[in-house]
Amino acid sequence: MKQLLKLSAASLLVVGALTVQASTLSDVQAKGYVSCGVSKGLAGFSAADSAGNWTGVDVDVCRAVAAATLGDAQKVKFVPLTAKERFTALQSGEIDMLSRNTTWTITRDASLGLNFAGVNYYDGQGFMVKSSLGISSAMELSGAAVCIQAGTTTELNLADWGKANGIEYNSVVSDTNAQTLTNYDSGRCDVLTTDASGLYSMRAAAKDPSEHVVLPEIISKEPLGPVVRQGDDQWFNIVRWSLNAMITAEELGVTSATVDEVTNNPERERLMGRSGSTHEYVGLTPDWTYQIVKQVGNYSESFERNIGINTPIGIARGVNALWTDGGILYSPPFR
Amino acid sequence: MKKLILESLGKSQHRGLNFRDMLYNNEARAFFFQVVTFVLVIGLFYTAIGNLFHNIEERGINTGFTFLKNRAGFDILPFLGNYVVDYTPESSNFSVFYVGLINTLIVAFVGIILSTLIGLFIGIARLSSNYLVAKLAGAYIELFRNIPILLQILFWYNLFINLFPHPKQSFAFFDIMFLNQRGLYLPRPIPEEGFSVVALSLIVGIIAAYFVKKHFKKKHDLTGVYTSTWPFSVGLILGLPVLVFLALGSPLQFDIAVLGKFNLRGGMNVVPEFLALTFALSVYTATYIAEAIRSGIEAVDKGQKEAAAAIGLTPTQSLKLVILPQALRVAIPPTINQYLNLTKNSSLATAIGYPELMSAFGGTVLNQVGQAVEILAMAMLVYLVISLFISILLNYVNKKMAIQGR
């Protein structure tokens, strides 16, 4: 809240100064770091450890952009934001990009002065209940109190779904993820609803994960992706293609370990900036994609490291597999 | 001397408006600088606001207030506002504003009453001759005044939801009232035909009691014969509506909460968010009010009490007629400030998700439509209006209480 007020006050003050806006890229290169809005802590997506190191698939998108623009994936200033604060922070210029499990919708894309640069995780809204309730389907939830985070598409989906299925519920709304979880744990509500990835992440963080069940119903499409301000197409392209570079690298089998190998595959050499001139079009050095893969890794590496099946969160690739592996992850060609 | 002034006046009249005269005229100079400052300030605001909207439009962010008519699409924690507005996700964003406003007002209203009662009690207790009572009151003030209010709200809320049992093991009071971690469930009154007559009789009773009191006061002033009025007041204000209620065959039903699959259903649910917020705000604000009351009572000279006793007033009469009127004169202005603070602090409810103005409208709607400037401006305006209203009301009371200049 305080941050929101601060942001709006700041936005009021800086509007005068921002009338003539420099390009985000030169701003970033001048100050020497990318200012990236992330969540206040969602394990596997964006969370800081006790030493203050941020990790997660959303964090990796920030790092990829830093590697592309500054040649150093560590040069990111992470700004933790609540769901309510995130768009104002981006609109006002407080952050350069937002990578905070944010759902791409037409309203956000077209009316907030923002652009979604792609999708780094295909998600859907689900429900989690305590196993002791003995419930196996969301259709049995009529009369329940539902814990929900304020300022999300989740709130809208739930209302739509409840109406369509004739399910009445009490919504218990909290500002932060932490308070939502406290409410659910204490029993203030019976059900926790958010994106399925978030549910898995919260379940993994619970004292005894087996006490909680994620119900099978997925009630919405939640394509999550990085967001930038409207009106700076160069920066928009950089963010979009940094993410695409990670996806394409997986497709071509380039990992952080094999990135230095020179091969005969022209597509791969083009991606690595060893031939062609795509880097000029986005205004970066030829090794920008190389730095991304070298320092952050390809999409699969990032996924498996943060949320994959061998992590406590344990999410299978599912729809987030490459299109060649039966998923829907698909990058336009580097050409 | 007189001649000199007349002469100089004649001179300046003769010359008409002269720049040199104006330059050395204090009033003219002061006026000039005031105009310059006024123009500068207005110009600054005009430029800033113009710039703001220009930039917002340039960035492709929607502006204007049309969003108020759009469908809200989300649910709000059911409480008073929802019932008054009959809110559903199909309602407009403006309904959310209205729901938030009502939820803010009820917190302010209950909070002001509760904090005044606690404050009065603690303030008087602090001056008690009983050592333990006085020290306990002092400890209360020092404890609650020195912890940030946001922390207290979070503390009481989390205590509430963790301390009380699950709905299935609710504390029941005579099987009509229930208390659990999802709040307090009271019987919900359902007025039936004819209930408005009962309400009307209550109003009539209050008015009648007022005139009875006035009549006896006049009698007291004229003849010196004192008549106790409280039996009349009780009879008129309580007795009359009860008689009417019984005569009409009890036109009121109660809906009592029953245990459903997950929750208690029906009844009137006072949510823990409201209880925790109102309690925290009242307990906190009461410390300041208690100090104001104490300073007020201490400000009354000891001689006043002695003089009252000397002319034969009983201790109660002395307190009511001599001490309190003078004490309140000192205590009211700081207390007004505390009422304003309480109202403004209610916006901290956003931390625990109580759907008041800043949480439901300034939070959820803001995030769904993204028009920060319009929405925050509306919210600010509301707090301003509420605060000014309380301020005007209590300044009026203060004026009544103040020493009448003779």
Condensed to tens digits (0 to 9), the pLDDT of residues B185-204 reads 988 888 877 788 888 888 99
Query: How distant, in Å, are the alpha carbons of A103, B126, B135, B137, B146 from that of B132?
Result: 59, 10, 5, 9, 21
Q: What is the pTM of this model?
A: 0.77
Look over chain B and give the mean of its residue pLDDT values, rounded to a whole number.
87
pLDDT at position B8: 53
Please name the residues between 161 and 190 in chain B that touch chain A, using a CB distance below 8 Å: 161-162, 166, 181-182
A155 and B364: CB-CB below 8 Å? Answer: yes
Position B376 pLDDT exceeds 60: yes
A111 and B369: CB-CB below 8 Å? Answer: yes
Are B120 and B328 in contact by the 8 Å Cβ rule? The answer is no
For residue A112, the chain B residues in CB contact (below 8 A) are 61-62, 370
For residue B358, the chain A residues in CB contact (below 8 A) are 1
Rounded to a whole number of angstroms, the distance from the CA of A163 to the nearest CA of chain B is 9
A156 and B74: CB-CB below 8 Å? Answer: yes
> What DSSP string runs through A175-202?
SSHHHHHHHHHHTS-SEEEEEHHHHHHH
Phi, psi of A145 (to 5 degrees): -95, 130
Q: Which residue of A has its CA nearest to B183?
A: A188
pLDDT at position A184: 92
Cβ of residue B270 closer than 8 Å to a chain A Cβ: no
Max CA distance (Å), chain B: 99
pLDDT at position A17: 43
Which of B89, B262, B353 comes nearest A190 by C-beta? Answer: B262
Look over chain A and give the mean of its residue pLDDT values, rounded to a whole number.
89
Position B349 pLDDT exceeds 50: yes
Contacts of A227 (CB under 8 A, 6+ apart): A90, A97, A98, A99, A102, A108, A114, A115, A116, A117
Are B283 and B112 in contact by the 8 Å Cβ rule? The answer is no
Q: Which residue of A has its CA nearest to B272?
A: A188
Are B124 and B293 in contact by the 8 Å Cβ rule? The answer is yes
Position A203 pLDDT exceeds 60: yes
Are B153 and B135 in contact by the 8 Å Cβ rule? The answer is no
Position B1 pLDDT exceeds 90: no
B370 and A175: CB-CB below 8 Å? Answer: no
Query: What b/e sequence results for B169-191 when a residue is b if at least 16 CB atoms lie within 10 Å of its CB, and e otherwise?
Result: ebeeeeeebbbbbbbbbbbeeee
B60 and A182: CB-CB below 8 Å? Answer: no
Residue A44: CB atoms within 10 A of its CB come to 28
Q: Please, which pLDDT band fits residue B9 given cuts at 50, 70 and 90?
A: low
Read off the pLDDT of residues B237-284 as tens digits, 9 standing for 90 and up: 888 888 888 888 777 788 888 888 888 888 888 999 999 999 999 999
Dihedral sign for Cα A319, A320, A326, A332, please: positive
Rounded to a whole number of angstroms, the distance from the CA of B95 to the nearest CA of chain A is 16
User: Does ipTM exceed 0.90?
Assistant: no
Position B160 pLDDT exceeds 60: yes
Q: Please, which pLDDT band fits residue B16 given cuts at 50, 70 and 90?
A: low
Read off the pLDDT of residues A105-127 as tens digits, 9 standing for 90 and up: 998 999 888 999 999 999 999 99
pLDDT (average), residues A145-170? 88
Position B118 pLDDT exceeds 60: yes
Cβ of residue B353 closer than 8 Å to a chain A Cβ: yes
Count Cβ–Cβ pairs < 8 Å, chain A vs chain B.
Answer: 148
B89 and A163: CB-CB below 8 Å? Answer: yes
Q: Please, which pLDDT band fits residue B13 given cuts at 50, 70 and 90?
A: low
Q: Please, which pLDDT band fits residue B364 given cuts at 50, 70 and 90?
A: confident
Record: fold of A125-220:
D-Maltodextrin-Binding Protein; domain 2 (3.40.190)
Where does chain A hold its CATH 3.40.190.10 domain(s)? 22-122+224-325, 125-220
B181 and A187: CB-CB below 8 Å? Answer: yes
The domain B80-187+256-401 having CATH identifier 1.10.3720.10: the answer here is: yes
Please name the residues between 15 and 54 in chain B that touch chain A, using a CB distance below 8 Å: 47-48, 51-52, 54
Q: Please, which pLDDT band fits residue A13 given cuts at 50, 70 and 90?
A: very low
pLDDT (average), residues A141-168? 88
Position A305 pLDDT exceeds 90: yes
- Cα distance between residue A229 and residue A24, in whole Å: 9
Which of B54, B161, B350 comes nearest A188 by C-beta? Answer: B161
CA angle (B129, B133, B134) in 5-degree steps: 60
- Give me the residue spans of the domains in chain B: 80-187+256-401
Rounded to a whole number of angstroms, the distance from the CA of B254 to the nearest CA of chain A is 21
Are B80 and B355 in contact by the 8 Å Cβ rule? The answer is no
Q: Which residue of A has its CA nearest to B47?
A: A16
pLDDT (average), residues A248-268? 92
Read off the pLDDT of residues A151-161 as tens digits, 9 standing for 90 and up: 778 888 999 99
Whose CA is closest to A231, among A58, A72, A19?
A19
Cβ of residue B304 closer than 8 Å to a chain A Cβ: no
Give the end-to-end CA distance of chain B in Å, rounded to a whole number: 37
- Cα distance between residue A243 and residue A239, in whole Å: 6
Residue B163's SS3 state is: helix
Rounded to a whole number of angstroms, the distance from the CA of A164 to the nearest CA of chain B is 12
Chain centre distance of CA A184 = 24
Q: 3.40.190.10, 3.40.50.720, 3.40.50.970, 3.10.450.50: which CATH number matches A22-122+224-325?
A: 3.40.190.10
pLDDT at position B390: 86
B51 and A15: CB-CB below 8 Å? Answer: yes
Position A216 pLDDT exceeds 90: no
Query: Which range has highest mean pLDDT (A40-54, A293-307, B16-30, B80-94)?
Result: A293-307
Extract the tokens encoding B136. 């306990």
Position A212 pLDDT exceeds 70: yes
Question: Please, where are the H alpha helices in A139-274?
Answer: 153-165, 177-186, 196-205, 233-251, 266-271
Dihedral sign for Cα A18, A20, A23, A29, please: negative
A8 and B373: CB-CB below 8 Å? Answer: yes
Which of B55, B75, B353 comes nearest A175 by C-beta? Answer: B353
Q: Is A287 exposed, middle or buried (0-12, 13-18, 19+ CB in 10 A)?
A: middle
- DSSP symbol at B24: T
Contacts of B357 (CB under 8 A, 6+ apart): B97, B100, B101, B103, B104, B347, B379, B382, B383
Share of chain B above pLDDT 70, in %: 95
- Cα distance between residue B4 and residue B26, in whole Å: 20
- Cα distance between residue B402 and residue B31, in whole Å: 35
